[in-house]
Every structure is written in C-alpha cells, then in structure tokens.
Chains A and B, each alone.
Chain A
Amino acid sequence: MSSRKSDQSGHALGSALKSAWLLPALFGLWWIGTRVENPGVFDPYYARIVMLIGINITLAVSLQLINGISGQFSLGHAGFMAVGAYIGSYATTTFGGIITPKDDLIDFANPCAMAWYFICLGIVVGLGIVVVYGMFALIRESSRLHASLPGILMLLVLAWVIFDVSASAGNPVAPAYFVWSRIFGLLPRTFDTLMSAGLPAASHCSAWLPQVMLKPICFLTALFGGGVFAAIAGLLVGLPTLRLRGDYLAIATLGAGEIIRVVITNSEPLGRATGLSIPVYANSAGAGEAAHYIFPWVYGVALITTLLIWRLKHSAKGRAIAAVREDEIAAAAMGIDITHHKVIAFIIGAFFAGVAGALYGHYDGYLNPNTFNIMRSIELVVMVTLGGLGSIWGAIVAAIVLTLLPEVLRNQPVFIKESRMVIYSLLLVLIMICRAKRPWRWVLRGRRADLA
C-alpha cells in the first residue's frame, strides 16, 4: 500500500505518462484496423499481420499475468491457446448450423437448438455484466484523475470504434433503436460472414433485435467456449503442477502443453495431424475481407484482456498475487492462500489464451496441431520477458514489435529475406545481452525477476 502511495506521489507525472503513453499506440492500431474496411488500402498480407498482432497482444498480456504478475514460469501457453482454438472452432463447425443462416429463426422444436439459445443468452448477459463491472471498477478504484484517465480513454476508444465501424453501414434508424444497433450493429455483420450467411451487410438493422443478436451470440459462444475449456485445462494443469517451482514448473507446463498437442494430434473429431478446417469463409472473398469482419473482435478482446488484467493487477487480489510472487512464505504468513492465488492467475491467463486461440482459429480458417508447438509457447515467453516481467504495457509493445520484426525482415532484399529467422534469433540474443547493460531501461521497463 505504501509503495503504491509513494509511487503515485513521487512520480505522478511519470506514472501518468507510463499508463498513458501506449494508449496512442493502441489508438493507432484501432485506426489502422478501420482502414482495413476499405478494400485496396490494406491487402490481405497486411491485414493478417494486424490480426496476428492483436491476437499476440492478448496472448502476451495473459501470459504476463502468469509469468510476470504471479511469478509462475509457464512454458505451456500455446497448449491453452490450442484448446481454445480447437474447442471454439469445433463449436462453430458443429453447432453453428443449428441457427439457420437464411431466416435467423431458431428451431424451437430442436432441444439442442433451444439449449444452445439459452446458453448463448446466458453467456452474453454474463459477458455484459463482466465488461460493465470491469469498466466501472476501472474508474471507481482509480482515486486520481490520471489513474482513471486510461480507463476513460479506453471507453471512448471503444465507443468510437463501435460507432465508426457500424456507421459505415449507413442506416437511418429510430433513436431508441439507435444505441442497440450501434452496439450490436457490428456484430451481425461480423458473424454473417463468419457463418457464410451471405446477408447484405446493411440489412441487419431492419431485423428484430434478438434475431440480430443470435449470430454474434453464436460467435461469442465459440470464443467463450474456447476460453472456458482452456480455463478448465488450466485448472487441471495448474492444480497439480503449481506446487512445483522455477525450472520444474517451467518444464512441467511445457510438458502439459505438449500433452495437449499430442492429444489433439490423435483425436479423430479434431482432424488428427491433418488439421481442422473451419468453413467460415465459404462466401467471402478471402482472408483480406475476413480480416475486416473479425478485426473489431480481435482488438476488442485484446482491449478487454488488457483492461481486466490491468485492473486485476491493481486490485486487492492482484496485490495478493504479487505478494505470493515476492515471497511465498511471507505471503502465507500474512494469511494469503498461496495455491488459490496461483491457480486463479493461471486460470485467468489460460482463459484469455483460449479466447485468443478461438479468434485465431476463426480468422485463419485452418488449424494444425503443429501451430501450437513448443516454439509458439517460447515465442510468447520471449515477448513477455523482452517487454519486462510484470509490465503489461511492455508485453503489448513486445507483442507488436516481435510480430512485426520477422515480417519487416521478410520485406527486405533476398539475402536478408532468406535468413530472416537467423537475424531474428541473433537480434534476440543481442537484445538480451545489451539489456543486461541496460542502456534502454526507459523503453523496456519492468521488474527484474528471477525464475524461482
């Protein structure tokens, strides 16, 4: 408590800058994304990079919760991502067709469809409560203006994007209906494409509201289903392995991630080693167009993940988690349930990894178990470490930079292009060695932490 106080009074301007300096970057990313709306400005290749950046931000921030904030060294994040990707995509491919694409009516005679409908509704209501609570908690818990500023700004950004994206549909509607259509306006368009419904983009506002909501609900369910199953996997992995420490935990989580991958590779309904195709783009022009529909989702999820984990870090629970990180024995002596807090952090991290995985699956349209191998986990750990352990903004910056770096190298002359991964790995080593000398402490800030 006292450290926070001194933090705020001592470096009020500094911490205001610290929490705010990345908002323009986020804002810029959102802006770039809205340019994806105009075909011709962004080709599919750049759209893909922008998508991957968004997904990697979610992954890196959620891993930051586990590795940086709670201090548990997890090397199995790709495994949770795989669970989310496969479960989410499987839900879409298997159950997505229950809600018929033509007339949006659910078949109430079908108990499965009914159950699906109520699950969807429940999840959306739950999500709404979580988001609204998160937003309010964000502003309520911030005692000073500069601390609540990012929250207010983010709300503004969110509102702006929703308005901007749905305004392009150009529908004059009744005022009472206006807000609803703004909020859910972007959702049906997104999901119409995802479900290959082929509805004209502008027609959604004339539809009856719950019907409009049905398809985005279906997509939300896919995302949340992926997240929930990943969280369950996180619980199953976390409960036994979190008793281990340091390197042992790292290798055990690495093993857990690999086990998940091997199980998927051998599972018949998930397509075995050949992979799972998600026929979401049957009617769309291709990945470039798909990017434009799924873009708000990707960055919305990245934003919500960042917000929630950021608030968690500064909440009472977050302080307890940090206490466990700093000294387990002292934390236990203060009456903190160590296992509980470790597992909580692990589950939340796994949940968002699962959501990111589901987004990845729906964006890419094809899943292969080898996408989620050890290298993927390691890539994420590198992002978190390079950004600075414990620093959420650092994780975001590192996710952006490390996703862009290979692509930037790819667009160079042949020699560099051919050996881009060699250069990437050399740069990684050089950065780590130079970081030891700390000339750019001010860029990559974060806690100096040890494994144990």
Chain B
Amino acid sequence: MFLQQLINGITSGAIYALIAVGYTMVYGVLRLINFAHGDIYMIGAMTGLYASRWMKLSDEPRWSSLLLVLLMAMIVCAILGALIEFLAYRPLRNQPRINSLITAIGISMFLEFGGQQVFGATPQAFPEMMPGGSGTAMFTFYGISVARVDVLILATTLLMMLALSWMVMKTRTGLALRAVSFRFDTAALMGININRIVSFTFVLGSILAAVAGVLVAIKFPKVDPLMGLMPGVKAFIAAVLGGIGNLPGAVAGGLLLGLVEVFVAGYMPQGSQYRDGAAFVILIAVLLVKPSGLLGKNVIEKV
C-alpha cells in the first residue's frame, strides 16, 4: 500500500515538476508569475485530443502516433507561448510588475473562456493512445502493480528534464538564459538578445507544459477547458516550494508536492477532501521556515 502510494505520488509529482519548470524559468527571467501557464498545459491536452481525432490516430494505438501527437501538442503550445509573450507581456516589460501579473490573469481567463467557446465546456474523452492499454500493469512486485502509463510519465519526464538540463547547462543559448536570469540589464549589455531569450524561455516552458498535458490526458482520459486551473496553481506552488527561479528546486518541489498530496489523501482521515488544502499548508509552512524556498538562495537586500 505504501509503495503503491509512493509510486502514485512520484507520478503526479513528475507532472507537477514538468509544469513547475515552466513557471520557474519564466519567473527567473522576467520575475513574472505567468498565470496562463496552467492553461497552456490545458491547450496541450486539447491539441493532443484534436490531433488524434483529426488524424484518426486513435483507431489503432501506435507508439509513432503517440509521438506524433506529443510533437503536435509541443509545436502548438510553443507557438502559443511565444505569441502570448510577444503580444501581451512584451509591451508591459518596463511597467510595474503588477500590471504584467494582471495581464497574465487576463490571458489565463481568455484561454479558459475561449476554450469553453471553442472546445465546449463539457469534459471530452481522450482516446487510448498507448498500444496495449495505458492502464494495464507493466510489471508487479511485492503485490503492487505499476501501470504502463506511469512508467511512460516517469520516463518522459526524466527524458525531458535531461534534455532541459543539457540545453540550459551546455548550450550557448542556455548560457545566455542563465545570464539573463542572473541580471537582466547586465545580460543585455553583454550583447545578449534579450527578446530572443525571453521568447525561448516561453517556448521551452510551453513545450514542457504541453508534454505534461498530453501525459495527464493519457492517464486520466478526460479533458476540459478548465483542467489547467488547479494544476497550474499547484505547479506554481511547487516552484515556490523549491525556490522559484531554481530549476532543480522546481523538480524537487513538484515531487514533494505530489508525495504530500498522495499521502494526505491516503493516510489522513477524510484526507481526500483535504488534498487540495494540503498543498497550501505545506507552502505556507515552508515559506515561514525558509522564505526563499527549499533550494532557493537567500537574497540579501542592500540599502
């Protein structure tokens, strides 16, 4: 039972981590809480749904078609993310940050309500994308079974994280990204094209959110336009938990959040009802003890 919960927790934590990375990167670069990020995750799942319907991929689940659907969701979300940054956030970059925050909220509402207009407000069933069935057990040990979709989620998340850390740590673009995140103005003086890097950040974050959206839709085959609201907020909490602006922190925060939620739901009396509250309780608890998050650095303010 404990191991089963552990695996569930790690799976949902991996999803939180995928979304949280997008939050934390955007925050690191622009100091902006991108409230629309959860809705990009929703658009990712929706794109997966419509792509599979449009290409009739769901008739016969194949790995190649799953890959194709993932790719399409990634492309659509990458374009959407860059577009949002270009149209909504760039004109406000030199404005007080609260203005960008309100704009982000507006964009989030636009995607949600626009999604209700375009896709309809009722939840739609997501087709079976994995050959051999996503829910069937891949292997069992000590009496617990690990579903194939869980393995897929963990493997994909691991792959994406490795790719991301390679991108951020080893490439010149990644170096520029780190520089921008460290000091925005100084990076510009060093000849870094700030606009390009910011767009790149949004593209990266949106790609990860799209992957998370499709993976969640495979695991819980129901998508609706408001599905991004709660995961979005919780992923942001995960990012804050780990120390916002810190990539390993986002992953750690996501995993912690996933585990805490699952254990609260599993072991507390009537825990499943307090599941949503648990995230906020540990958020406040961690912030009180270490205001910069678990892995965040303490910034000393100079007078």
Residues on A close to B: CB < 8 A? 73, 240-241, 243-244, 247-248, 250-252, 254-256, 258-259, 262-263, 265-266, 329, 374, 378, 381-382, 385-386, 389, 418-419, 421-422, 424-426, 428-429, 432-433, 435-436, 448-452
Cβ contact within 8 Å between B98 and A450: yes
CA distance A432 to B89 in the complex (A): 10
Cβ contact within 8 Å between A429 and B107: yes
Beyond A419-B113, A432-B103, A449-B98, whether A265 also contacts B273 by CB under 8 A is yes
As a 0/1 sequence over residues 139 to 174 of chain B, the CB contacts with chain A under 8 angstroms (1 = contact) are 000000000000000000000000000000000000
Cβ contact within 8 Å between A329 and B109: no
For the complex formed, measure the closest distance between the CB of A445 and the CB atoms of chain B, giving whole angstroms: 15
Q: Is the interface of B mostly helix, strand, loop or mixed?
A: helix
Cβ contact within 8 Å between A258 and B276: yes
User: Which residues of the other chain, B, contact A73 by a CB distance below 8 angstroms?
Assistant: 98
Which 8 residue pairs spanning A and B have beta carbons closest together?
A255-B280, A262-B277, A425-B109, A428-B106, A421-B113, A429-B106, A425-B110, A432-B103
Residues on B close to A: CB < 8 A? 27, 31, 33, 88, 91-92, 95-99, 101-103, 105-107, 109-110, 113-114, 116-117, 229, 233, 236-237, 240, 244, 270, 273-274, 276-277, 279-281, 283-284, 287-288, 291, 301, 303
Cβ contact within 8 Å between B283 and A244: no
User: Which residues of the other chain, A, contact B88 by a CB distance below 8 angstroms?
Assistant: 429, 433
Closest to B31 in A: A247
CA distance A263 to B278 in the complex (A): 11
Interface centre among B98, B270, B291 (most CB of A within 10 A): B98
User: Which residues of the other chain, B, contact A243 by a CB distance below 8 angstroms?
Assistant: 288, 291
Cβ contact within 8 Å between B102 and A255: no
For the complex formed, measure the closest distance between the CB of B22 and the CB atoms of chain A, giving whole angstroms: 16
For the complex formed, measure the closest distance between the CB of A384 and the CB atoms of chain B, giving whole angstroms: 9
User: Which residues of the other chain, A, contact B117 by a CB distance below 8 angstroms?
Assistant: 418-419, 422
Cβ contact within 8 Å between A385 and B102: yes
16 interchain pairs (CB within 8 A)?
A251-B33, A251-B283, A252-B287, A258-B233, A265-B273, A385-B98, A419-B114, A421-B109, A425-B109, A425-B114, A426-B106, A428-B109, A433-B91, A449-B98, A450-B97, A451-B101
Beyond A251-B236, A262-B274, whether A422 also contacts B99 by CB under 8 A is no
User: Which residues of the other chain, A, contact B31 by a CB distance below 8 angstroms?
Assistant: 247
User: Which residues of the other chain, A, contact B102 by a CB distance below 8 angstroms?
Assistant: 381-382, 385-386, 428, 432
Cβ contact within 8 Å between B98 and A451: yes
Cβ contact within 8 Å between B283 and A432: no
Cβ contact within 8 Å between B99 and A385: yes
CA distance A157 to B184 in the complex (A): 53
User: Which residues of the other chain, B, contact A426 by a CB distance below 8 angstroms?
Assistant: 106, 110
User: Which residues of the other chain, B, contact A389 by a CB distance below 8 angstroms?
Assistant: 98
CA distance A426 to B101 in the complex (A): 14
CA distance A411 to B273 in the complex (A): 39
Query: Besides A251-B283, A428-B105, 8 other CB < 8 A contacts?
Result: A247-B244, A248-B291, A254-B280, A255-B284, A266-B270, A422-B117, A451-B98, A451-B101
